[in-house]
Structure 1
């Protein structure tokens, strides 16, 4: 019996990996602490002990204490089950939206917030298809290729965060978005032929949007400023901008006008050297025909 209990405890802990709160995420810590406090207050208000509640929701008692103390991010199904067991009338289930945001890594969440406000987005990517362009299968294959490997929960969390950023294409008014990808990045068959084929189709879909400019940088081109790594530029409606380059300013985001002008010069040179949008889409179409 003791062995079985230990196995169940281990199983519970393993299944919850990736649901810890990022210690550097102050907003996330505050959200999860508030959610945990509300769960505990609701449970105590109906006179239910933690052990009985744990059995009712199908979780270990230790996990209940961790969630109520703000040390674990509750799963959406946990909140739904708790809402039902405690008769909360939807109040606990309603917290799922904020809880889901906490699951996204802080850096990704901050980037998504900036992308959601930008009126112009410019990206040069040399090593892989940019996150805004990735299909779910492509994103998963890239993330699962990491070493040491992420846990399944971490993979799910990172894929969901990456896909959530694609909402930028559904904005009204739509931002102006410019992509330049290295030829090697679009030729790499990440995830196998079928996943690669769907990724090429996705590039064609996005590249044909009126607000999107998509270009491919040929491998046989001369040297260009992007050889030092990725470049990103985001411009906002108030005239402000932020950018970063792997090869400049130690890779840190910058907003100083003088530094931004350097990034804009580099990005403009890259766009001028890459294949024009129409030729780039034709290039992707040719690759698709070779699959």
Structure 2
């Protein structure tokens, strides 16, 4: 929702987009209503964007690029920075590293990892949290989370290894239909050549060994082969580069993978949950 206080809190990128859009619109002699007709938005939405009462969404930026961008690609460039500004403060340092990584090892024990979430699942998860967030902020965070998934189709591709705690697959966010769609999305992701997806069963088996009890974990390798770890607890986060600590986390990831179901068994289980197998 467009709000007056947003004008004072608008980011530098949002202000730049507003000024450039206003200038380019003026150079064409268009009213806000005319620009809105060209990009598929109301005059009020254009006014809100130009005054920073409601910064441009990712979809609006794409439309502005199509209609006003010409060869400058200024709105396309702005999309990356607007997305970054939507992330929670504790997450902003991690996202660029994730997007550039050549290898990512992930263990999720509370909910499906953000890189693998459907839009409906992400909205149910973010919108159902506490304290409750305004609808506009929920939409911003969902859009930012979906934008991260461009990593899957990046060239060169990244190797992504994900282990999901079994309870993640049975804990319902939203409703059962959202969960079925999420399971089908996971199955689709599991078939990607650059993705390894496994399920860590709740029953540890005869040996009783369980390496996943310390919480969710991300370990990544940067293009210059630096290894980093990222952990979150109750909206607090730590990005770690100390080789000894990162090595310990990487070893824990390896142990978790060894205790998980095989990729084939994991895919079969996920498909059963989706109702795609008897």
Q: What TM-score range do you get, normalising by the shorter chain?
A: 0.7 to 0.9
Distance between the aligned counterparts of 1:214 and 1:60, measured in 2? 41
Match of 1:10 in 2: none
Match of 1:59 in 2: 44
Match of 1:168 in 2: 151
1:121 aligns with 2:104: yes
Distance between the aligned counterparts of 1:218 and 1:135, measured in 2? 23
Distance between the aligned counterparts of 1:260 and 1:65, measured in 2? 45
Distance between the aligned counterparts of 1:261 and 1:155, measured in 2? 35
Cα 1:128–1:257, aligned 2, differ >3 Å: closer, same or farther?
same
Match of 1:32 in 2: 14
Distance between the aligned counterparts of 1:144 and 1:137, measured in 2? 10
> Residue 109 of structure 2 contacts residue 215 of structure 2 at CA under 8 Å; is this kept in 1?
yes
Cα 1:43–1:216, aligned 2, differ >3 Å: closer, same or farther?
closer
SS class of match (2:239): coil
Distance between the aligned counterparts of 1:82 and 1:237, measured in 2? 33
TM-score, with normalisation over the residues of structure 1? 0.73
Superposition pairs of residues 205-244 of structure 1, within 5 angstroms: 205-221=188-204, 222=208, 224-244=210-230
**Offset at 1:139?**
1.1
Distance between the aligned counterparts of 1:205 and 1:61, measured in 2? 37
Match of 2:260 in 1: 274
Distance between the aligned counterparts of 1:62 and 1:268, measured in 2? 52
TM-score, with normalisation over the residues of structure 2? 0.76
Runs of 4+ in 1 over 6 A off after TM superposition: 42-48, 53-57, 76-83
SS class of match (2:241): coil
Match of 2:121 in 1: 138
Distance between the aligned counterparts of 2:247 and 2:101, measured in 1? 18
Q: What stretches of structure 2 of length at least 5 have no aligned partner?
A: 37-42
Cα 1:74–1:159, aligned 2, differ >3 Å: closer, same or farther?
closer
SS class of match (1:227): coil
SS class of match (2:240): coil
Match of 2:39 in 1: none
Match of 1:152 in 2: 135
Higher Cα Rg: structure 1 or 2?
Answer: 1
Cα 1:217–1:35, aligned 2, differ >3 Å: closer, same or farther?
same
Cα 1:263–1:39, aligned 2, differ >3 Å: closer, same or farther?
same
